[in-house]
Amino acid sequence: MASSSGSRLFAGFLVVLFSCGLYANGCYLSIISFGDSIADTGNQKHLALISDDVIFICGPPYGQNFIGQSTGRCSNGRLIIDFLAESLGLPLIPPYFNGKGSSGVGRQGVNYAVVGATALDASFMEAKWSERSVINASIKIQLAWFKESVSSICGNASDCRNFIGRSLILMGEIGGNDYNYPLSVGQPIDEIEPIVPLVIDAIISTINELIVMGARTLVVPGNFPLGCLPRILTIYGSDNEEYDPITGCMTKFNKFAEYHNKMLQTKLDHIRERNPNVTLIYADYYNALMQIYRSPYEYGFTNDKILKACCGCGGPFNFNVSMQCGELCKTVCDEPDTYLSWDGIHLTEIAYKLIFKSLFQGPYTIPEFSPLCPASSQTEVGLSSYI
Does residue 52 belong to any structural domain of this protein? yes
Per-residue b or e along 362-380, where b marks 16 or more CB atoms closer than 10 Å to that residue's CB: bebbeeebebebbebbbee
Residue 386 domain-assigned? no
Domain range for residue 361? 31-381
| pLDDT score, position 105 | 54
| Burial label, 385 (beta-carbon count in 10 A; 0-12, 13-18, 19+) | middle
**14 in a structural domain:** no
Q: What is the pLDDT of residues 284-339, one digit of tens each?
A: 999 999 999 999 999 999 999 999 999 999 999 999 988 999 878 889 999 999 99
Specify if 275 maps to a domain: yes
**Share of residues in the chain with pLDDT > 90 (%):** 72
Average pLDDT, integer, range 89-117: 79
pTM of the predicted structure, to 2 decimals = 0.89
Question: Of residues 26 and 378, which shows the higher confidence score?
Answer: 26
Tell me what pLDDT residue 311 has.
97
Segment 224-241 mean pLDDT: 96
Question: How many other CB atoms are there within 10 angstroms of residue 276's CB atom?
Answer: 8
Mean pLDDT of 111-137: 91
**Band of pLDDT at residue 225, cut at 50, 70 and 90:** very high
Could you report the per-residue pLDDT of 179-206, keeping only the tens digit for each?
Answer: 999 998 889 999 999 999 999 999 999 9
Q: In total, how many domains does the chain have?
A: 1
Residue 192: closest CA among 114, 288, 118: 118
Cβ atoms within 10 Å, residue 201: 14
For the cut 90, the answer to whether the pLDDT of residue 86 exceeds it is yes
pLDDT of residue 176: 96
CATH label of the domain that carries residue 268: 3.40.50.1110
pLDDT category at 378 given cuts 50, 70, 90 is: very low
CA distances (Å), origin 160, targets 149, 157, 235: 11, 5, 46
**pLDDT of the residue at 133:** 78
pLDDT tens for 237-284 read 999 999 999 999 999 999 999 999 999 999 999 999 999 999 999 999
- What's the pLDDT score for residue 68? 66
Q: Which has the higher per-residue pLDDT, 21 or 308?
A: 308
Place 23 in a pLDDT band, splitting at 50, 70 and 90.
very low
Average pLDDT of the chain is 87
* Residue 20, domain member (yes or no): no
| 15 belongs to a structural domain | no
By annotation, the residues acting in catalysis are 37, 343, 346
pLDDT classification of 73: cutoffs 50, 70, 90: very high
Answer yes or no: are the C-beta atoms of 281 and 366 closer than 8 Å.
Answer: yes
Please give the pLDDT value at position 371.
Answer: 76
pLDDT bin (cut points 50, 70, 90) of residue 19 is very low
Point out which residues pair with 217 in neighbouring strands.
168, 279
The CA distance from 324 to 330, in Å, is 9
pLDDT at position 374: 61
* Rg, C-alpha atoms of the chain: 22
